Structure 1
Amino acid sequence: MDLWVAIAGFGVGVVVGLTGMGGGALMTPLLVLVFGVPPLSAVSSDLVAGAIMKPFGGAVHMRRGTVDKRLVLWLCVGSIPAAFAGVFVAKAVDGEGMSHVIQSLLGAALLVAAAGLVVKAWFGLRDQARAAADPSLREVVEGALARVRVRIIPTVLVGAVGGLVVGVTSVGSGSLIVIALMALYPALRPQQLVGTDLVQAVPLVGAAALAHLLFGDFQLALTVALVVGAVPGVLLGAAVSSRAPGGLIRAALTVVLTASGLKLLGASTVAVGVTTAVLVALIPAVWVLARRHHGLPLRTSPVPAARTPTEPALADQVPAT
């Protein structure tokens, strides 16, 4: 077993658990470009490792209640058969050419989604400033989970497209479907977005992994190394994600979307690494400046705990003058 592959698996596992995306978009290029694994072997082994890794992260979110099971059901209706069929499509057509086109389109979509997250965060700060100035505008309690109306046909189509892409390239079980969920259900909180995406990816990746076990180029030693590192990584990332503030998860999503998009568009590993480091350094400073621009405190005040009936208010303890 390659120790460095296990360490890389741990890092990718943390990203997957934290953001719900990045498994195929980060791990497959790492295996091919850094460790010299043949592309088909990288896709097959990464998918099998993902099928073992993702249930651990999904279980954490299920226990915390940050999964919309109705969305998971309808996504799987489209994704499971499409993921299995994607392997046969890749073999029937020019797999390398199709994979290149799909990855380029997906890379562009990831960069657009990252920009969309930044814009959404800016308008979110504006709305917070308005709510602080006028308490009557407060409609959503921070931390409350949203219940959305499921749009069945678009959700099934999203699952089918995502499943097909995953079957061909191993990329998209998290990144592509996260983008679609953000567009279809903007009311979903970040914790729900990550949790729902992780759970729906379990049967999706499982179907694609089964097809690659039967018809791909699965390597047992490579997969074991990935799993040994990825399982503790995804548990750690999911535990942080299900408890972390929404702003932290949105920042992590922005970094992962940008890095994955650049890699899929053919950027060098050095360029992706430098860009990621710059984003990690700049995002906190930009966030502080944005909050100051909107006149918001750098820290949100905690919601005071509810008083028990036997605990008098401070005003009740002060004698009237």
Structure 2
Amino acid sequence: MIIDFPLLVGSFLVAVIVGLTGMGGGALMTPMMMLFFNVPPLAAVSSDLVASAVMKPVGGYVHLRHGTVNLRLVAWLCAGSVPAAFCGVFLARAFGEDAAAQQAVKYALGIALLLAVGGLVAKAWLATRGHSQPDADIAGITLRPVPTLLVGMLGGATVGMSSVGAGSLIIVALLVLYPTLKANQLVGTDLVQAVPLVTAAALGHLLYGDFQLHLTTSLILGSIPGVYLGARVSSRAPSGVIRAILAVVLLASALKLLEVGNLATAWILCGTVTAGAACWLSMRRGKTRAAPSESAAPTPAPANHPG
């Protein structure tokens, strides 16, 4: 068996992002294989799903150890996503993998990711103004069973058909349904729920024999250390840092799903990161200037006591 070392390195880098943010597997790994390694689309989807079924448990285990997973939320998501993911493979075959349908799914997901970026930016801005909701304890969130089940079903069907959505689509929905979840709790919960989801979708593809063993082996060898490293960082890093990384990855994934060119994507990402850094520095300077003015408030004169 021949190991594709460039693909192994690429999968390592993508897996680090998956471990950090809980997403990027289908939205980044599959396009990477098709664009840079000329892998046929069906083989890319199948190999990515089988590799994810091995990779996701590694990141999920790290978050479970650090207590950043809500298992009740995972259970409701999986109740909808696991059967839907398996059926999604058959739906794709039934529709003959119609190119127009696949494009519609990709564009819809790309727009959803852009909305998620807007939500993250709005949450960060409100936090600086003191108007955001406080982050909740991981076990103390109010569960919304029916919407969560529907999110799992939609995400599972999308993953089964295109391999995209295990992280990106479900994280978008969790941001809306549970806005008080901390960023590392969001990542940890998503990584754990994705384990049975991608396993069900991978089994569906394995039944058709449309994956290539050498591709999958290269992906797994690069992904396991990458996702472990990323998950270790995200389980300990400050929420604001993970939220910023998540926003950049969401934006990059959205641009690729909307078929924006590589050069344009690079310029947009560079401009976004530069603007974000400038805003952060501006807010830091504002807080630094406000601190001395507060400390410079006149202090009451000491009372004169008779000697």
Is the shorter-chain TM-score for this pair beyond 0.5, marking a shared fold?
A: yes
Q: Per-residue displacement from partner, 1:114-142 (whole Å, max 9, x unpaired)?
A: 011111100011118x9xxxxxxxx95x8
Residues of 2 paired with 1:144 and 1:76: CA distance?
A: 22
Closer, same or farther: CA 242–97 of 1 in aligned 2, 3 Å: same
Match of 2:10 in 1: 8
Matches within 5 A, 1:26-65: 26-65=28-67
Distance in 1, matches of 2:9 and 2:170, equals 26
Q: Counterparts of 2:104 and 2:272 in 1: how far apart (Å)?
A: 27
d(CA) in 1 for partners of 2:223 and 2:271? 26
AA paired with 2:81? S
* Deviation larger for 271-280 or 218-227: 271-280
- CA–CA separation in structure 2 for the residues paired with 1:243 and 1:143: 17
Deviation at 1:267, TM superposition (A): 0.9
Partner of residue 102, structure 2: 99
Overall identity of the aligned pairs, in %: 56
1:158 corresponds to which residue? Answer: 151
C-alpha distance in 1 between matches for 2:278 and 2:81: 39
Which deviations, in whole Å up to 9, do the C-alpha atoms of 1:65-98 show, x marking residues without a partner?
Answer: 0000000000000000000000010011142222
2:204 and 2:16 map into 1 onto residues whose CA distance is: 26
Shift of the alpha carbon at 1:285?
A: 2.3
Query: Structure 2 length normalisation: TM-score?
Result: 0.89
**What's the counterpart of residue 266 of structure 1?**
259
1:278 CA displacement: 3.2
Given the alignment of the two structures, is residue 81 of structure 1 paired with residue 83 of structure 2, yes or no? yes
Q: In the alignment, is the contact (CA less than 8 A) between 1:146 and 1:187 conserved in 2?
A: no
Shift of 1:33: 1.1
- One-letter identity of the residue aligned with 1:290: M
1:270 Cα deviation from its structure 2 partner: 2.6
Contact kept, 8 Å, 2:48 with 2:163, in 1: the verdict is: yes
Out of 58-67 and 262-271, give the one that drifted further: 262-271
Consecutive unaligned residues of structure 2, counting only runs of 5 or more, are 291-307
CA contact (8 A) 1:146 1:189 kept: no
Across the aligned residues of Structure 1 and Structure 2, the Cα RMSD in angstroms comes to 2.0
- C-alpha distance in 2 between matches for 1:268 and 1:66: 36
SS in 1 for 2:130: helix
2:125 is matched with 122
Q: What is the one-letter code of the residue matched to 2:128?
A: L
Q: Distance in 2 between matches of 1:16 and 1:165?
A: 18
Distance apart, 1:215 and its partner CA: 1.7
Helix, strand or coil: the match of 1:173?
coil
Tell me, in whole angstroms, the C-alpha distance in 2 between the residues paired with 1:289 and 1:279. Answer: 15
Counterparts of 1:170 and 1:224, CA distance in 2: 18
> Contact 2:171–2:186 at 8 Å: present in 1 too?
yes
Normalising by structure 1, report the TM-score. Answer: 0.85
Structure 2: distance between partners of 1:158 and 1:240: 27
Aligned to 1:301: none
Q: Is the 8 A contact 1:61 1:67 kept in 2?
A: yes
**For residues 202 and 219 of structure 1, what CA distance do their matches in structure 2 show?**
21
Alpha-carbon distance in structure 1 between the residues aligned to 2:248 and 2:272: 7
Number of residue pairs the alignment of both structures matches: 288
Unaligned 5+ residue runs, structure 1? 131-138, 299-321
- 1:188 aligned partner: 181
Aligned partner of 2:190 in structure 1 is 197
Aligned position for 2:234 = 241
In structure 2, distance between residues paired with 1:276 and 1:227? 28
Do the aligned residues in 1 keep the contact of 2:77 with 2:193 (CA within 8 Å)? yes
**d(CA) in 1 for partners of 2:288 and 2:137?**
21
Aligned counterpart in structure 2 of residue 148 of structure 1, from 131, 141, 148: 141
Say if 1:125 and 1:291, in contact at 8 Å, map to a contact too.
no
Kindly state the Cα deviation for residue 99 of structure 1 after the two structures are TM-superposed.
1.4
Q: 1:291 to 1:144 in 2, by over 3 A?
A: farther
Q: 1:216 to 1:273 in 2, by over 3 A?
A: farther
What SS does the aligned partner of 1:282 have? helix
Assess if the C-alpha contact under 8 Å between 1:90 and 1:98 holds in 2: no
Higher mean alpha-carbon deviation, 92-101 vs 227-236, is at 92-101
Q: Residue type of the partner of 2:58?
A: F
The AA in structure 2 aligned to 1:98 is: A
Once the two structures are superposed, residues 179-210 of structure 1 have per-residue CA deviations (whole angstroms, 9 ceiling, x without a partner) of 10010011111111000000000000000001
